[in-house]
Amino acid sequence: MTEVDWLTAPEPHPIFLQTTPYFSERKARLFAVACCRRIWSLLIDDRSRRAVEVAEVFADDPRLAQELTVAYYAANVALLATDPLEECYHAAASLANAVAYASARHGCESTRLAATAVADTVADARIDLVAYKTARAEELAAQAVLLRDIFGNPFQPPLIADPSWLTTSVVALAQAAYEHRQLPGGELDPARLAVLCDALLDAGCPAEHELLLHLRGPGVHVRGCHAVNIILDRQ
């Protein structure tokens, strides 16, 4: 794979991530959750949604392993209560259950699972083969955007923020953007990111720095965004 391949790939490449310096279990789990949030409307049981939410929190706080286990078993009950004939809902419930299970064990496994299963679940709702292929391709393309947001560009040196830019205000704004998202999709609020960018500029970050270019760039940003990670010193 080349840098051009990475930047233009029409679908995610989670297996490749394990060989890059940007891979971490936390990022893999957050990517899996971001994929699940894209089909939130298909998670019709609160126990399924809770499993995804706890898996998301667990990515940042492994001390919640017991809570994740409880959420997984509750999601399993929800899955068993879902009518298999309602294929989309049943598949979504199965995915939430599996992501909670995989997140507790191996983040990369949950990444592979989510990327493929979410795309399949979205596509399965279509009534003919052409619509199926189109829906699946569109979903995988959206996932590729999420993947690049979280993992950055593994063909470039890691982003580095000058410590002088990381003022108390900048860090607080980044933390607020991380915590107060647009739910249930989980996207970071563009208005909050815009304020964060202004604060970075005021702190001396050059307008052409990749940190600002990414935060101001097109596409959605989600929890785990690599630029926000840099500011918050998270891997």
Give the pLDDT confidence of 113-172 residue by residue, as tens digits: 677 888 888 887 777 788 888 888 999 999 999 999 999 998 888 888 999 999 999 999
Are 223 and 112 in a shared domain? Answer: no
Average pLDDT over residues 31-46: 92
Residues sharing a CB contact under 8 Å with residue 204, sequence separation 6 or more, in sequence order:
162, 164, 165
pLDDT at residue 85 is higher than 90: no
In this structure, of 46-60, 84-98, 174-188, 197-211, the range with the lowest mean pLDDT score is: 84-98
Model confidence at 110, pLDDT cuts 50, 70, 90, reads low
Average pLDDT over residues 39-52: 94
At 73 the pLDDT is: 93
Mean pLDDT of the chain: 89
Return the closest-CA partner of residue 136 out of 114, 112, 148, 118.
118
At 40 the pLDDT is: 93
% of the chain exceeding 90 in pLDDT: 58
Are 100 and 34 in a shared domain? Answer: yes
Average pLDDT over residues 65-70: 93
At 109 the pLDDT is: 61
Return the closest-CA partner of residue 235 out of 21, 55, 6, 65.
21
Domain of residue 168 covers 163-232
At 106 the pLDDT is: 63
Are 63 and 105 in a shared domain? Answer: yes
Chosen domain end from 102, 125, 151: 151
* Distance of alpha carbon 235 from alpha carbon 229, whole angstroms: 7
Q: Which of the pair, 42 or 98, is modelled with greater confidence?
A: 42
pTM listed for this prediction = 0.91
Strands (DSSP E) found in the chain: 181-182, 187-188
Chosen domain end from 97, 120, 151: 151
At 43 the pLDDT is: 92
The four Cα atoms 152, 108, 80, 184 give a dihedral, to 10 degrees, of: -20
Q: Is residue 97 part of a domain?
A: yes
* Distance of alpha carbon 110 from alpha carbon 86, whole angstroms: 24
pLDDT at residue 107 is higher than 70: no
Q: Which of the pair, 103 or 105, is modelled with greater confidence?
A: 103
At 166 the pLDDT is: 97
The four Cα atoms 93, 97, 102, 107 give a dihedral, to 10 degrees, of: 60
CA 190 to each of CA 33, 217, 230: distance values in angstroms, whole numbers, following the listed order: 20, 10, 18
Q: Is residue 36 part of a domain?
A: yes
Are 131 and 211 in a shared domain? Answer: no
Are 8 and 122 in a shared domain? Answer: yes
β-sheet bridge partners, residue 188: 181
Token pair of 88 as six digits: 């989309």
Average pLDDT over residues 41-48: 94
Q: How far is CA 234 from the centre of its chain?
A: 15
- In which residue are the tokens 């003919």 written? 128
Return the closest-CA partner of residue 79 out of 52, 55, 114.
52
- Count CB atoms within 10 A of the CB of residue 223: 24
Are 49 and 104 in a shared domain? Answer: yes
Are 141 and 222 in a shared domain? Answer: no
* Distance of alpha carbon 44 from alpha carbon 93, whole angstroms: 8
Chosen domain end from 91, 121, 151: 151
Burial profile 29-64: b = 16 or more Cβ within 10 angstroms, e = fewer: bbbbbbbbbbbbebbebebbbbbbbbbbebbeeeeb
When divided into structural domains, the chain yields a total of 2
CA angle 163, 227, 170 (to 5 degrees): 50
